[in-house]
Amino acid sequence: MRGSATTPRAGFSLVELIAVIVIISVLASIAVGRFRSMKERTIVAAMRSDLHNLMTAQEVYFLDNGERYAPEVSLLLPAYHTSPGVFIVLQDVTASTWSANATANGTTVSCDVSRSSGKTTDGSAECQ
């Protein structure tokens, strides 16, 4: 007899399929949140690294150019480049002091570094 009530049917019920979809959705939302957090931490690490490299490039420029700092980042080329999506602006550049600010696409965090200007701990990148 075909289609009798006593024959078991193969497959999953609609309730079981919906339960699986809900579980997968919850797991995916957790993974996306963690991915966004990791992405922002990676961008902040790139900004810190770029500011550290800027410190080194400024010291080399200082020694090579009569003990004065570069007033703009373009003067540090070709030795110094920022990471893709990171933007650095030099500020308050004098013969003996300077500071810089780093921003990046994909985050609202910005980082600062300075040399003898008192804005940050000397040579330490501070992000907020």
Q: pLDDT per residue over 56-107, tens digit each?
A: 999 899 999 988 999 999 999 888 999 999 999 999 999 888 999 999 998 9
Average pLDDT (34-63) is: 92
Q: Tokens 């019920």 sit at which residue?
A: 13
Dmax (CA) of the chain? 100
**Residue 119, pLDDT above cutoff 80:** no
How far, in Å, CA of 54 to CA of 48, rounded?
A: 10
**Residue 9, pLDDT above cutoff 60:** yes
